[in-house]
Structures are given as structure tokens and as C-alpha cells.
Amino acid sequence: MMKIRMPHAPYIANKIAIDLLNSGYATFSNGIEPIKESVQVVFEEDLKKEEALEQRVEELLEDNEDEMEFNRIDRRSMFWMIKKKIAKEYDVILSYEDRYNNIAHEMLDKLWQEDLMDYTVAENTMKNVILNALEAYVNGFEDIEEIVIEKIRHMKRDMYPGTDEYNTVFERLYREELQKKGMF
């Protein structure tokens, strides 16, 4: 499973909210927007914890750069080893399956506690709706990204990844592709 980054959060939140609404199991007390917002908050909080963990790992690697070079230690391997070792300190679950299961549970709790949603089926059924939405997004993301990159390559003007112009065009085309797939 791919690593999800902060820019994906609003799209994932939208996909989850749409799938919850279309499941037929849930009723929204204040419409779909508060659902999207709450789901996005939960997802972003989780991503921020992982970003903080990775920032700390980078700091530790930088502090020991000379020793790592001297001993010919692979930075990537060391990054992963340190990340695994200190993940619990940052409340980060590294197994994507366990992590997303936990996030789905947190989302359901938040939606229920904020009185934004009621459901008529077992909690596991609702959690599966969220997990399936997440999986569908992740599976579709790579395909959509390839389509968008190909469209940008065929444009009349040259654009380079990382530039403001490229990012703006990528974002617009990405959103259009998500809309075509009913994910935004």
C-alpha cells in the first residue's frame, strides 16, 4: 500500500464521506460537509504524528551522519530501523492494515461523539465502509496520477515537477480525474 501524504487528506475524506452516505447504513444529521471535515481532521492528525516521527528520525540520522558514513551504513535502512524503534513514542502504527483500521475506528467515534452521524448496522460494517473507501482511493490514486502526468507531458508548454505552475496544473487535472471517478 502506498504512503498517504497530507495533500491526499481532503480527497480521502471526501471519498469516505461519499461512501458513508451511499452505503445506505448512515444518516447525517448536518449534511455531508461536517462529515468530510471531521474525517479529514482525524486523518490529518494521524499524518502529523507520522511527520513528527520522520522528522525526529532525520534529526537522529543527521546527528550520526559521520559515523554512518565511516561504517558504510545504508541511510535508508537505518531510517527504517530507527522509525520502527521509536514509532510507539509518537503513537504511530507502522502496519498500514492496523493503522487504517485504527483510523477508521477513530473516525467513527468522532462522528458519533460529535452527533454528526447515526448508523443502523454494526460498527464493523461501518468501519469496513471506511476501509473500503480508503482502499479504493489508494488503488485509484496511482492510476489517476499516471493519467495526470501523461496529460501534462502532452501539453504544448513544458512544465517541470516541483514548480508552482506544474503543481497548480497537476492539482486541477487530479481533481478533474477524481471527479470522473466519483471520488470528489
pLDDT digits (tens, 9 = 90+) for 95-120: 988 999 999 999 999 999 999 999 99
pLDDT value, residue 91: 95
Cell reading at 83: 522509525
Find the domain containing 70 and state its range. Answer: 6-180
- Return d(Cα 150, Cα 14) in angstroms, integer: 25
Q: Which helix (H) or strand (E) holds 119?
A: strand 117-119
pTM of the model: 0.77
- Return d(Cα 56, Cα 41) in angstroms, integer: 23
pLDDT value, residue 115: 96
Cell reading at 175: 481533481
Are the C-beta atoms of residues 152 and 169 closer than 8 Å to each other? yes
How distant is the alpha carbon of residue 24 from its chain centre? 25
Q: Which helix (H) or strand (E) holds 106?
A: helix 96-113
pLDDT value, residue 106: 97
**Count of domains in the chain?**
1
Cell reading at 56: 525526529
- The answer to the question of residue 139 being in a domain is yes
- The answer to the question of residue 161 being in a domain is yes
Query: How big is the chain, counted in residues?
Result: 184
- The answer to the question of residue 37 being in a domain is yes
- The answer to the question of residue 41 being in a domain is yes
- Position 62: which residue type? E
- Position 27: which residue type? T
- The answer to the question of residue 28 being in a domain is yes
- Return d(Cα 131, Cα 183) in angstroms, integer: 14
Q: Which helix (H) or strand (E) holds 140?
A: helix 123-153
- Return d(Cα 125, Cα 138) in angstroms, integer: 20
- The answer to the question of residue 1 being in a domain is no
Low-confidence ranges of the chain (pLDDT < 70): 1-2, 182-184
- The answer to the question of residue 174 being in a domain is yes
